[in-house]
Structure 1
Amino acid sequence: MKTLLLNKDEVGSLIDLDAVLEAVENGYKSFNSGKVVQPDFMSIELPGSHACIDFKGGLDLAGGYITIKSSAGGYKGNPELGLPTGMNTVMLFEASTGALRCVMDGTWITGCRTAAAGAISVKNLAREDARTLCIIGAGNQARRQLRAIIRVRDFSEVLVWNASPQALDEYVREMSEETGLNIRKCETAEEAVRAADVVVTTTRAHRGPVVKKEWLKPGTHIVAIGSDMPGKQELGADIFKEAKVVNDSVELCVKYGDTQHPVKEGIIKPEDIHAEIGEILLGEKVGRENSEEITIFDSVGMAIQDTVTVAMLYKAALDKGLGTPYEFFK
Structure 2
Amino acid sequence: MQTLLLSKDQVKGLIGMRQVIAAVEDAYRAFSSRQVEQPDYIGIRLPEGRGEIDFKLSYHQQAEMISMKAHSGGFTGNPEAHGVPNSMGTILLFDARSCALACIMDGSLITGLRTGAAGAVSVKALARKNARTIASIGTGNQARMQIRAIREVMQIDEIHAWSRTPENLAAYKQDIEREFQIPVIIAASGKGAVEKADILITTTRGKGGLVQADWVKPGTHIVAIGTDARGKQELDPELFRNAKIVVDSIPQCTQKGETVHPLAGNIIKIDDIYAEIGEILLGAKPGRASDDEITIFDSTGMAIQDNTTAGSIYRNALANTIGTFFSFIG
TM-score between the two structures when normalised by the length of structure 2: 0.97
Aligned residue in 1 for 2:279 = 279
Deviations 1:145-201 (A, max 9, x none): 001101111121111112221121111111111111122121221111011110001
SS class of match (1:274): strand
Distance (Å, rounded) in 2 between the aligned partners of 1:298 and 1:36: 20
Distance (Å, rounded) in 1 between the aligned partners of 2:314 and 2:41: 23
Aligned residue in 1 for 2:137 = 136
Distance (Å, rounded) in 1 between the aligned partners of 2:266 and 2:51: 32
Query: Which amino acid is the alignment partner of residue 110 of structure 1?
Result: T
Aligned residue in 1 for 2:233 = 233
SS class of match (1:148): helix
Aligned residue in 1 for 2:289 = 289
Deviations 1:76-101 (A, max 9, x none): 22232222221111100000100111
SS class of match (1:67): strand
Deviations 1:57-91 (A, max 9, x none): 10001111000011111122223222222111110
User: Shift of residue 37 of structure 1?
Assistant: 0.9
Aligned residue in 1 for 2:62 = 62
Distance (Å, rounded) in 2 between the aligned partners of 1:276 and 1:50: 36
TM-score between the two structures when normalised by the length of structure 1: 0.97
Query: Which amino acid is the alignment partner of residue 157 of structure 2?
Result: S
Matches within 5 A, 1:94-173: 94-173=95-174
Aligned residue in 2 for 1:90 = 91
Distance (Å, rounded) in 2 between the aligned partners of 1:142 and 1:317: 29
Distance (Å, rounded) in 2 between the aligned partners of 1:164 and 1:327: 50
SS class of match (1:97): coil
User: Shift of residue 116 of structure 1?
Assistant: 0.7
Count of paired positions: 329
Distance (Å, rounded) in 2 between the aligned partners of 1:77 and 1:209: 32
Deviations 1:110-149 (A, max 9, x none): 1111111100101110111212111111111111100110
Aligned residue in 2 for 1:46 = 46
Query: Which amino acid is the alignment partner of residue 99 of structure 2?
Result: G
Deviations 1:214-250 (A, max 9, x none): 1101111100001111111111111111111000001
SS class of match (1:170): helix
Distance (Å, rounded) in 1 between the aligned partners of 2:199 and 2:275: 19
| 246-255 vs 48-57, greater mean Cα deviation | 48-57
Distance (Å, rounded) in 1 between the aligned partners of 2:329 and 2:309: 27
Identity %: 49
User: Shift of residue 270 of structure 1?
Assistant: 1.2
Query: Which amino acid is the alignment partner of residue 328 of structure 1?
Result: F
User: Shift of residue 15 of structure 1?
Assistant: 2.0
SS class of match (1:293): coil
Distance (Å, rounded) in 1 between the aligned partners of 2:245 and 2:141: 26
User: Shift of residue 48 of structure 1?
Assistant: 4.8
SS class of match (1:234): strand
Distance (Å, rounded) in 2 between the aligned partners of 1:46 and 1:163: 29
Query: Which amino acid is the alignment partner of residue 192 of structure 2?
Result: E
Structure 1 residues 45, 106: closer, same or farther in 2, change over 3 A?
Answer: same
Aligned residue in 1 for 2:216 = 216
Query: Which amino acid is the alignment partner of residue 75 of structure 1?
Result: F
Q: Which runs of 5+ in 2 are unaligned?
A: none
Query: Which amino acid is the alignment partner of residue 32 of structure 1?
Result: S
Give the RMSD, CA atoms, in angstroms: 1.2
Aligned residue in 2 for 1:184 = 185
User: Shift of residue 50 of structure 1?
Assistant: 7.1
Query: Which amino acid is the alignment partner of residue 257 of structure 1?
Result: G
Distance (Å, rounded) in 2 between the aligned partners of 1:321 and 1:98: 23
Pair 1:19 & 2:19 matched: yes
Distance (Å, rounded) in 1 between the aligned partners of 2:329 and 2:35: 31
SS class of match (1:107): coil
Deviation above 3 Å: which 4+ runs of structure 1?
none
Query: Which amino acid is the alignment partner of residue 39 of structure 1?
Result: P
Distance (Å, rounded) in 1 between the aligned partners of 2:49 and 2:240: 32
Q: Which runs of 5+ in 1 are unaligned?
A: none
| 11-20 vs 76-85, greater mean Cα deviation | 76-85
